[in-house]
Structure 1
Amino acid sequence: MRMSFSVAVAGASGYAGGEMLRVLLQHPEARIETVSAHSNAGSTLGEHQPHLRGLADRVLAPTTVDTLAGHDVVVLALPHGASGAVAAELAARDPRTVVVDLGADHRLVDASDWRTYYGSEHAGTWPYGLPELLHAGERTAVAQRAALAGATRIAVPGCNVTAVTLGLQPGVAAGVVEPIDLVAVLANGYSGAGKSLKPHLLASEGLGMAQPYAVGGTHRHIPEIAQNLRAAGAPDVTLSFTPTLVPMSRGILATATARLVPGTTPQAVRDAWERAYADEPFVHLLPQGQWPTTAATLGANTALVQVAVDERAGRVVTVTAIDNLVKGTAGGGVQSLNLALGLPETLGLPLNGVAP
């Protein structure tokens, strides 16, 4: 078991990097030694992340391999397509460094999926940082945790991917839902869009309005969700996926539906979700009749799930709430990092949300 570890966070001035720092500040074994940025290098972290008082005076270093090398752990909170080259150089410098990629560069197994949705060459596939991911034939998530134990490279899932996967995978793994004709509609907080200044992300545009984006099968998280459900046992996956920005700063409420396998009872459906998540520390199936809310997961590494059967429509309905920056990004990354370092999986991670 590795105990105290040093950390460098690249992209520390952005939302994902800032949230990783917030979570690591609560981790009893993490020593944050370096924070870096690109265009914001030379300024203090407090100018960009004023809520991180314990690190406010830290000066952001340039994001270079020389800056990041020499740490036990390097977290890459960089734009999609930027992590691959940095990670390759770090591997050449010190292959023992544990690198956690919060971006998309190393999530996908199929290089053609990457080229189709991201338009560049694939950087390779790393161990996937969703410890709760079910594999075909499993009743509970064992194989994914084994894959993360001792890993030196971790690809953290997309936030939408985490929510939809956790909502649907128990039914796929248990064979009680059909993995074709899946439909997922999400309500997303604005922090999921990053800090880039764009007119439709301004408060004057977004307040009081809900707006869909990446409609019609164009969202980059679609192949990743399909990849996860195939891992859970689906021979093929078709998914209609529509995210919607709503006026909240963080959070995802994912409503996903699937065809009920003929002859399956509502109790069999409930049993599948209960078996999958009965012993999970962060994924909680709520009592029947209680529905997830984003407020209940605010600031926590918790996913709240509910499942119901619409018998008239012949469909299973799942609703999953997460904080996109915690369980959907930084918290999920630290959870996977704990497993990689041989530490308790729950160490330093918040379970309880902030409400109202």
Structure 2
Amino acid sequence: MVRKKDYFKLGLYIILGTGMLLAVVVILGAGRYFQTTFPLETYFDESVNGLSVGSPVKLRGVQVGRVAEINFVSNIYHDAKSPQSRYVYVRCEVNPDLFKEMTDDEFVEHVAREAKRGMRIRPTSLGLTGQLFLNTIYQDPKTNPPLPIDWTPEYAYIPSVPSTLSRVEEAVTTISKTLSSLRQEDLQSIIKDVKSIVGTIDDFMKTEGGREAGNRVLDILQSTRSILGRTDRLLADPAAETLIPHTASILSNVDRITSESADNIIKAAAETRAAIASFKQASQVLSKTLTDPRMDKAMAEIAPSLENISRASSDLAAAVTKVHTLINRLNGMAASQEANVRSIIEDTREVMQNVKELTDDAKRYPSGVIFGTPPSKPHPEGN
């Protein structure tokens, strides 16, 4: 007989088992719903058979995210035009840990810059299984333009390029259409022309000129073989292993410097162009001025003036020489009469001293200066 405690234990085991199962599901798979990711979208104008939600997104072989949604553009952007509504819409989730803690806006700007430089997404097969993943590559943006769209993408947008299989199918289809457009008469005419060309070449090779041309071709092939042998030996040198990476690094630095200085280079080129135009204009004005008949007349009138200036310069030089000679003579005379001049100066100083003393006496004893010696001082106590 089952007791009530047994029912309680059974229910407790069921609850604990269900909780552990839910915890395992959350840890193994549902945890990604709580992760922060960068959304990324792209569009394809071809079949994406083999691509599914959860397929990896790789950048040069490194997985950077996963496919989160596959839909049609018409279901996401309702204002899409009829040809563009047939695009396949693919939204991806990118791991933010690989982008050095960028914000959402910085990630969008980074993807836009890289897309301008040629970043594209191509569906790539994993092998013979038929499964696809999205491979992020760099292509020439001129030969691989983005698909035409007339809406603003909601998330960061990377244009797509057709898959390799799609390109092969397109090439085979083009060749098939070209071959099917050829008629039987055209094929017979082409075969006839080919036979005629082959016969002409065979007849030419049997002549002396043909044999000489063949020998020259053999010499060229021998020289090419020798050059290829030298190139192979150079590439086999261990120094080439370091030279090639260094060259690639130098070219990368040159490309970076060029891209960073593009605005300055364009501005310098514009200024150089303007300077050349100004110089050309000045040259034209100068040439026009020199060819003007009035310039010849002015030069003829200037010539006599220049001759007069030259003669005046000669006369001025002679006058300067005479003045220099006179100054030398005056210096000589001053040097020879230096003692007399010094004596005259001493006598003059003594005369001036005497005049000063006479003036002082005149101030103190005016009558003595006029009438002679001053009167004797009276002595009252002697009376």
TM range, normalised to the smaller chain? under 0.3
Question: Relative contact order: is structure 1 or structure 2 higher (C-alpha 8 Å, sep ≥ 6)?
Answer: 1
TM-score by length of 1: 0.19
Higher helix share: 2
